[in-house]
Amino acid sequence: MDEMQIGALTVDSHQHFWQIGRFQYHWMRPEQTVLQRDYLPATLRPLLDTAGIQQTVAVQAHGSVDETRWLLSLADQHPWIAGVVGWVNLEAPDVGQVLDELCQNPKLKAIRAFVHDIEDPKWLLRPAVLRGLAEVERHGLAYDLLFRPQHLPLAQPLADKLPGLRLVIDHIAKPLIKDGVMEPWARDIAAAARIPGLYCKLSGMVTEANHATWRPKDLQPYISHVLEHFGEDRLMFGSDWPVCLLAASYLQVVDALDTCLEVAGVSRVGRAKIFGMNAARFYQLM
């Protein structure tokens, strides 16, 4: 990271906090023992300092408004948590009123749902969900798209129906890195990249690779592909900490992305955008 320190803001656009006794995290599996403990700001702060990351965006890990309130309280206590991606029930009739309350805290920047775990593959296009997303847009918030490759074709119709809603794809839509599979992910994410204003997070990749044997070269084809189609102005770094600990330390995630961007020929200025300025612009952190 040293050569990227050119005075630009550095931001981790995607990290989580949780307390095992506070919420039940349905997505955690019993064998994922490294995740089954509390991960709070005091643990993350030293890691950020070592990696040279100044601010973060805390992203929901539980589908409840209570967790969103809790994340906002953590952000109030720690100024370096610059934004929160929370959760609301998009299909609820009172979603607008719930957002009225939550948006009293200016650190709420976006909303997310566990789309990739919902049985209906076209859930995002349901009329009730679209009404909820229209409320997200009306409140000036962005929306994080938690996709797997099969969900990527939803991006265009969603953008067509809500052209004013700021959208970002999390985790480059979780391609099958472990198996070295590119298609149809490569085709569909290239199509999604043609949507004006759609961003993509360079996050969550190490956990889609082989946890025990991955190397930066395994990530390179996927990173190079999204670079080709999104460019250096619509990509942002995210650690996905502490989920990343299944495969890598915080610093290993940072160094792997930095290495891959260098191999891809991204300039120091471009890397500074990806490691901070793009996230600050998209999430309106400044």
Full residue range of the structural domain in which residue 8 is found: 2-282
- CA-to-CA separations, 27 to 6, 61, 117, 147, 170, in angstroms, rounded: 39, 9, 9, 15, 16
What's this model's pTM, rounded to 2 decimal places?
Answer: 0.95
What pLDDT, on the 0 to 100 scale, is given for residue 116?
A: 79
The domain spanning residue 32 has which CATH number? 3.20.20.140
User: 215 near 253, Cβ under 8 Å?
Assistant: no
Which pLDDT band holds residue 3 (cuts at 50, 70, 90)? very low
| DSSP single-letter state for residue 283 | T
CA neighbor of 70 nearest in space, from 108, 35, 96: 108
Give the chain's mean pLDDT.
96
Judged by DSSP in three states, 274 sits in: helix
State the CB neighbour count (10 A cutoff) for residue 94: 11
Number of domains within the chain: 1
The answer to whether 81 and 257 have CB atoms below 8 angstroms apart is no
Rg over CA atoms, the chain: 18
Confidence of residue 7 (pLDDT cuts 50, 70, 90): low
| pLDDT tens figures, 67-89 | 999 999 999 999 999 999 999 99
DSSP 63: S
Q: Which of 28-42, 110-124, 140-154, 256-270 has the lowest mean pLDDT?
A: 110-124
pLDDT at 118: 87
- In this prediction, residue 174 has a pLDDT band, given cuts at 50, 70 and 90, of very high
* CA–CA dist 274, 13 (Å, integer): 10
Q: Quote the distance between the C-alpha of residue 179 and its chain's center.
A: 23
**Through-space distance between the first and last CA atoms of the chain, rounded to whole angstroms:** 22
Look at residue 181 in the predicted model and tell me its pLDDT: 96
Crossing angle, helix 250-263 and helix 216-230, to 10 degrees? 60
- Checking if the pLDDT of 21 tops 80, the result is yes
State the pLDDT at residue 115.
87
Judge whether residue 162 has pLDDT over 70: yes
Closest by CA to 191, choosing from 166, 143, 158, is 158
∠ CA 52-142-159 to the nearest 5 degrees?
125
Neighbours of 84 (CB within 10 A): 29
Residues 232 and 251: their CA atoms lie apart, in Å, by: 22
CA-nearest of 201, 217, 219 to 209 is: 219
pLDDT band at 4 (very low <50, low <70, confident <90, very high): very low
d(CA 58, CA 70): 11
- Is 49:74 a contact under the CB 8 Å cutoff? no
The three-state secondary structure class of 236 is strand
What is the tens place of the pLDDT at every residue in 177-227?
999 999 999 999 999 999 999 999 999 999 999 999 999 999 999 999 999
